[in-house]
Amino acid sequence: MNNKFVGTGVALITPFNEDLSVDHKSLEDIVAYNIENGTDYLVISGTTGESVTITAAEKAAITKTIIKANKQRLPLVLGIGGNNTAQVVEEIKNTDFSNIDAILSVSPYYSKPTQEGLYQHFKAVAEASPVPVILYNVPGRTAKDMTPETTLRLANDFENIIAVKEAGNNVHQYLQLLKNKPEDFLVISGDDDLALGIVLAGGAGVISVLGQALPKDFTTMINLGLEGKAKEAYALHFKLMEMTGLIFAENNPAGIKAVFQALNMCNANVRLPLVEATNSLKEKIVEALKVFA
């Protein structure tokens, strides 16, 4: 079951039209582009999909579009998380999971619970979920780090908690997880810049932002890493390095949307409080893309 989530997953953007309505046509194209270029699974409505400024009706329509475009070719992971545990549980109970393989559930943000609070939150999520759960620790966004001890306690206590997307940009924390995890529990990188090193240390792969725009190079890098071919993999890591820095230079997903605009796959619109990438960043992205032509 867990093997579905080894390799390169991508946190899909939500493209918008000029009036900021969802651009379903571009979304279909991005899904097809990823399937054709080696991506292993797709993540719907994560942070990169601007989940916090998407309505429930829009989320349902986005999910439907991705399911339709995917045609059951790749595993699908649906983002369901938040800082109101009862509301998260309610959403899980009211979701149709017939085409969804797992949920990605972000650690509660803003509330800053204790480690015990994080454990109890995810216990409630795991007990409510009819599909496997991937924990998502991203302290830069949540203002609270979920420690390896808490993650591994959850991994050991709940059979359907199968993985963690770790995105603290903290190598020591990744290594603690890899050293002490149950055998079949997956440690997935949520940091594009660290993904290869984590894979070489025993990680299961990545849920990437950049990977969706440059899937061929990114998936090849991760696959080489999984095969232990460090030298060949690092050649691609170095090729991707500048772009990895650029897409996070202002905010995510403004940077990755600027890449898609440069690739003529959608425009660069984001919803407030995010703002579109600056012209100077867009120019640097256009220049950096020449390596991939």
Catalytic residues: 136, 165
Which tokens hold the place of 57?
A: 């009706």
**Cα 270–Cα 273–Cα 274 angle in degrees, nearest 5:** 40
Q: Strands 133-137, 205-208: parallel, antiparallel or unpaired by DSSP?
A: unpaired
Alpha helices by DSSP H, the chain? 24-36, 56-70, 85-93, 115-128, 139-142, 148-157, 171-180, 195-200, 215-226, 230-247, 254-262, 279-288
Q: How far is CA 260 from CA 22, 98, 171, 173, 242, in A?
A: 15, 30, 29, 32, 16
Distance CA 166, CA 152 (A): 12
Query: 125: closest CA among 94, 86, 163?
Result: 86
Q: Which residue has the tokens 């943000």?
A: 109
Distance CA 78, CA 69 (A): 15
Q: How far is CA 111 from CA 123, 177, 195, in A?
A: 17, 24, 29
Which tokens hold the place of 101?
A: 């393989």
